[in-house]
Amino acid sequence: MPIRVQSELPAKEILERENIFVMDENRAVHQNIRPIHIAILNLMPLKEDTELQLLRSLSNTPLQVEVTFVKVTSHEAKNTSMSHLNKFYVEFSEIRDQRFDGMIITGAPVELMEFEEVDYWDELVEIMDWTNMHVTSTIYLCWGAQAAMYHYYGLQKRLLDKKMFGLFWHRVKNRKIPLVRGFDDVFLAPHSRHTEVPVEEIRKVEEITILAESDEAGVFLAMADGGRRIFVMGHPEYDRVTLDGEYHRDLDKGLPIDIPKNYYRDDDPSVKPLLMWRSHANNLYTNWLNYYVYQATPYDLMGTPDFEYVYSQLAKWKSPKEIPDDYNFVI
């Protein structure tokens, strides 16, 4: 699919070298197509790396996707230049009155802090509440998923004995849900976190349906409100060497860190890691864009007073488990 970004975004050149169709705004205006509008609230410290990873993940359907990168104003980024942020990011106040087909809220390296201690917590809560009537479907990644479960359902995170780090095997649950369509029965996905939301606590929340989980890593994928809220506890967007970079970073800092599990061949960090999760990661984002974004939004977003009709159609069943097998999510 063509990814529509600003022509000077550094990730654009890298994606083009990977033969990913990237369209700048000049070419896009000549196509008579309404693009899918996706906002990305990027809370990760290495923002340019995350931009590339997420754009790569969104590039596998025929849809034209226009991405808007959003930044918080209550936190000063230390690992990304202000010139980059000022040129390629917008503040929430600039999009407050807009509507988006989808949104991604990333993780952040603040999991050892209480949610309310994070300097941009109030701003994040405002954005999460804003999505209720301005975004059709939102993906929350890693710490972002923990934050959303805490905000919406009061679920507390808990500290792990040691970092959940590496690739872990997961089992697919609830196969009738389109979000996991095309997934194998078991699959690998990356995790890199010090905390978790206990699976037994998630199961107590009737509104949440678990779609994939691991005996070791707990819940990986869950959803609520007919797919309006999607929680991804790991990092499917990570590229081949992300875990490698995190491992050597912590080693260099003298921090306690195990070799990432199931990542290096024979657990040898000198060997180039195998890429063993990309197909399922691509499938996840493709299914999200198709079934929960593209097929669930009207052609004219701005002409729609709100999304209540769409939401009511997706919420006709008390739980996704009740959705008929032949329902195709076309509104």
Q: Give tens-digit pLDDT for 109-156.
A: 999 999 999 999 999 999 999 999 999 999 999 999 999 999 999 999
Active site residue: 142, 170, 201, 246, which one? 142
Q: How far apart are CA 310 and CA 314, in angstroms?
A: 6
Q: Which pLDDT does position 179 carry in this prediction?
A: 96
Residue ranges of the chain with per-residue pLDDT less than 50: 1, 28-31, 299, 302-311, 318, 320, 328-331
Q: Is-catalytic flag, 216?
A: no
Burial class from Cβ neighbours inside 10 Å (0-12, 13-18, 19+) for residue 98 reads middle
Write down the pLDDT at residue 151: 98
Q: Which two tokens mark 144? A: 């972002």
The C-alpha atoms of residue 157 and residue 154 are separated, in whole angstroms, by 10
pLDDT tens for each residue of 208-217: 999 999 999 9
Residue 37 annotated as catalytic: no
Annotated catalytic residue, options 48, 201, 237, 246: 237
What is the per-residue pLDDT for 315? Answer: 54
* Alpha-carbon distances, residue 318 vs 178, 277, 280, 285 (angstroms): 17, 32, 28, 25
Structure tokens at 93: 């106040």
Q: What is the pLDDT of residue 317?
A: 52
Q: What is the pLDDT of residue 312?
A: 53
**Half-sphere exposure for 220 (CA within 13 Å, toward CB):** 30
Could you confirm whether 142 is annotated as catalytic?
Answer: yes
Among 214, 213, 310, 210, which residue's Cα sits nearest to residue 261? 214
Nearest residue to 20 (alpha-carbon basis) of 9, 31, 33, 34: 9
Please give the Cα distance from 183 to 284 (Å, whole number): 8
Q: Which amino acid is at 5?
A: V
Whether 87 contacts 122, CB under 8 Å = no
